[in-house]
Structure 1
Amino acid sequence: MDTTRADELLSHLFDVVNLPPYDESDRLLLSRTLAITSLHFAASVRSLREARLAVGAAAMLRSQFEALVRGVWVLYCASDDQVERLSSLLSVESQQATKNMPQVTEMLGKLENQPQLANLLVALREFKDSSWLPLNSFVHSGIHAVHWTRFEPSAGLVDQVFRSSNGLAVLAYQHLAIITGQPGLQRDVIAACAAYSSCFPDPR
């Protein structure tokens, strides 16, 4: 569980995709912001793991996943009105206006209708099917949070959170690569990961 190696890779991936979006539309800027939000949560997962705060790391992993899904949904599926409401300056009124935004299950359902996202949807669905219920338990202080607070979680479970977070971070960087409009940039992201297999979940 080498956080230094993960930091090294993710820092390199940032340099690879650190380009402006292919246009300045609200949709692209919002989608980019949400992908970066997902990466902020990923950094929190790594920091909390280093601090041996596994419950917080698990809760952050759920937020990381949701920010990634919402970023992809914004790019491909959100209506112009939804983009406008999510892009508004924060206020009591704008907060109220966004309270009925689709949640993860609905967003994934919409993304299923985008054939070009088939490979991404396999990864997102696999993560949700295996991890969503326990991660919700951490966020809402359910039985998983109680158990991990009362009894130190196994090294294997903490390692799984770390590796899953790194995998989602790579998906966020691939999404940022798409937003740049630069051909071949996604392949560069994938190629950069080849030497860092120890940072990711084992292949299924």
Structure 2
Amino acid sequence: MYKSKLDALLPRCFEMYEYMSEHIDLLRELEPVPEIKHRLAFQSGILSFEHGLSALKLIQDGFLSSGFALMRPQYESLIRGFWLMFADNTTWLAKLSSAGQVKADEFKKLETPMLGDMLKALDKTEAPAHILTQLHEFRTINNTPLNSFTHSGLLALIGNGNGYEPKMMYDAIRNCNAVAAINMQMLSNLTGYDEAMEPISDLHHQFVDCLPIHHA
């Protein structure tokens, strides 16, 4: 059953990413709000989009473990974008202004907080509560397996040798498509133009079969 559903899902996902790519082209023309933190958040969202698309391409080509490994940076890039938008990161931004003087062995000074710390910081901000709930739920469900794939753990080693169940692949792809959809909302918001949000509603309606949550 899930083998046929997966076969139908993958081409639809590429259609969804083509739709998102066209929207991103328009967003680039509008440009994000000039403030540096918003521009960095926008670039983090672009990274999230690239990771998601690359994961799909690897999965389609049969490089499943490598594809799954990109799902964590896809998610983490989205979290970092929201952290840059909403959290108090003044100290980090001040460090970034002197990045040109930082030596190779001092790059750790420029690292943003760990994923869990960024989420905790976001919980204390005015970031949209319903989106934060979804992001926390995603981490609760997927954190352990995604860590395993990213760090070549047992799940990756076993799956790479024995193959993956179609249901597991189907659910993982749909969950990460939800991350991609939230990312598009973030990128659109960063332009400051209300009309940039209009295609997001269409995205959810046109590609409801690609997402884990049905939208009215």
Could you state the TM-score of these two structures normalised by the residue count of structure 2? Answer: 0.84
| Alpha-carbon contact 1:74-1:83 (below 8 Å) kept | no
Q: Does 1:174 align with 2:196?
A: no
Unmatched segments (≥5 aa) in structure 2: 1-8
Q: Identify the residue that residue 98 of structure 1 maps to in structure 2.
A: 110
Secondary structure of 1:181 counterpart: coil
Q: Does 1:81 align with 2:91?
A: yes
Secondary structure of 1:180 counterpart: coil
Q: Does 1:130 align with 2:157?
A: no
**Of 69, 72, 79, the match for 1:62:** 72
Deviation at 1:202, TM superposition (A): 4.5
Identify if the C-alpha distance between structure 1 residues 10 and 91 changes in structure 2 by more than 3 Å, giving closer, same or farther. Answer: farther
- Deviations along 1:152-176, one digit per CA (max 9) or x if unpaired, are 1012212222222221111111111
**Of 32, 42, 57, the match for 1:32:** 42
- Deviations along 1:33-76, one digit per CA (max 9) or x if unpaired, are 11111111111111111111111111100010011101110111
| Alpha-carbon contact 1:22-1:181 (below 8 Å) kept | yes
Deviation at 1:203, TM superposition (A): 4.6
Q: Identify the residue that residue 156 of structure 1 maps to in structure 2.
A: 167
**Of 40, 49, 53, the match for 1:43:** 53
Identify if the C-alpha distance between structure 1 residues 82 and 191 changes in structure 2 by more than 3 Å, giving closer, same or farther. Answer: same
Q: Identify the residue that residue 130 of structure 2 maps to in structure 1.
A: 119
What do you get for the CA RMSD once the two structures are aligned? 2.2
| Cα distance in 2, alignment partners of residues 107 and 35 from structure 1 | 15
Q: Identify the residue that residue 81 of structure 2 maps to in structure 1.
A: 71
| Cα distance in 2, alignment partners of residues 193 and 160 from structure 1 | 17
Q: Does 1:193 align with 2:209?
A: no
**Of 15, 18, 21, the match for 2:32:** 21
Could you state the TM-score of these two structures normalised by the residue count of structure 1? Answer: 0.89
**Of 62, 68, 81, the match for 1:52:** 62
State the AA in 2 paired with 1:201.
P
Deviation at 1:184, TM superposition (A): 4.3
Deviation at 1:120, TM superposition (A): 0.8
The structure with higher relative contact order (CA 8 Å, sep 6+) is 1
Unmatched segments (≥5 aa) in structure 1: none
| Cα distance in 2, alignment partners of residues 86 and 138 from structure 1 | 30
Identify if the C-alpha distance between structure 1 residues 91 and 6 changes in structure 2 by more than 3 Å, giving closer, same or farther. Answer: farther
State the AA in 2 paired with 1:98.
L
Deviation at 1:132, TM superposition (A): 0.5
| Cα distance in 2, alignment partners of residues 33 and 165 from structure 1 | 19
| Cα distance in 2, alignment partners of residues 6 and 177 from structure 1 | 16
Identity level (%): 23
State the AA in 1 paired with 2:110.
T
